[in-house]
């Protein structure tokens, strides 16, 4: 079984500043890793995913994440945020070959002008 | 490709009533999932289908919950004798088994309020 811990429940940030959202996971097997974004009253949209290969993964809307196997982390970053990035962000994990996702509790990002 | 569609988007029901939600996955996707999301939490897995077969059910899915996916196309999630604790967002997702690693596409969800 896997579990995900998102270390920050809320992250306030000013527009055009960088942001980092922290995610740690635990699993006894190799995993796939994902970041999803959820806007108010909407479903989840995939930002990026790590399956294998390069540990630096680039996603949509200027986001990127780095997989660190030794630290079992998958932190999400954006160098310069916009007001439109205000949303809930979820880190998720699934084991290889099996597609059920286990989600963290989410991080609320609020971007202020 | 119109994405995953869920209906209704919102449902308010009285405690004790039955409700049914529908999910239409992306047409070529053979896997379909149901998740439940309560306020301030991440989605929690409820059940999933591969084609028409229901392959796993979470312990969260009490006997009052039933899901079906006839003919491996759309799916329904029924909750009988609703309780206030059933109030949540119910999310449906679909994916195609066989791609290198999964990408689950989510619908916009059905928000259930039990009063």
Q: Inform me whether the pLDDT recorded for B38 exceeds 80.
A: yes
Mean pLDDT of B88-93: 96
A68-77, B52-61, B94-103: which has the minimum mean pLDDT?
A: B94-103
Q: How far is A92 from chain B (nearest CA, A)?
A: 9
CA distance A71 to A48: 19
Q: Inform me whether the pLDDT recorded for A79 exceeds 70.
A: yes
CA distance B40 to B54: 28
Distances A110 to A10, A113, B55 between C-alpha atoms, Å: 8, 10, 39
Reported as a single tens digit per residue, the pLDDT across B7-33 is 999 999 999 999 999 999 998 888 999
CA distance A37 to A70: 26
DSSP secondary structure, A27-96, as one string? -SS-EEEEEEEE-TT--EEEEEEE-SS-SEEE-GGG-EEEEETTTTEEEEEESS--GGG-EEEEEEEEET
B40 touching chain A per CB within 8 A = yes
From chain B, the residues in CB contact with A99 under 8 A are 31, 33, 48, 95, 97, 102, 104
């Amino acid at each position: 079984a896997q579990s995900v811990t998102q270390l920050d429940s809320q992250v306030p940030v000013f527009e055009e500043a960088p942001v980092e959202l922290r995610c740690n996971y635990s699993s006894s097997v190799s995993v796939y890793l994902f970041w999803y974004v959820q806007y108010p009253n909407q479903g989840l949209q995939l930002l990026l995913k790590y399956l294998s290969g390069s540990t630096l993964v680039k996603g949509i809307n200027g986001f990127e994440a780095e997989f660190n196997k030794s630290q079992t982390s998958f932190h999400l970053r954006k160098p310069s945020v916009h007001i439109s990035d205000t949303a809930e962000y979820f880190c998720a994990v699934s084991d290889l070959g099996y597609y059920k996702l286990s989600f963290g509790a989410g991080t609320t990002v609020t971007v202020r002008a | 490709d119109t994405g995953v569609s869920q209906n209704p988007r919102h449902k308010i029901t009285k405690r004790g009533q039955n409700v049914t939600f529908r999910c239409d996955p992306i047409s070529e996707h053979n896997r379909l999932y149901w998740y439940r999301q309560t306020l301030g939490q991440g989605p929690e897995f409820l059940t999933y289908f591969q084609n028409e077969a229901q392959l796993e059910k979470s312990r969260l899915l009490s006997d009052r919950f039933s899901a079906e996916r006839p003919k491996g196309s759309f799916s329904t999630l029924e909750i009988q004798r609703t309780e206030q604790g059933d109030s949540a967002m119910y999310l449906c997702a679909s994916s195609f088994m066989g791609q290198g690693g999964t990408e689950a596409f989510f619908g916009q969800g059905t928000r259930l309020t039990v009063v």
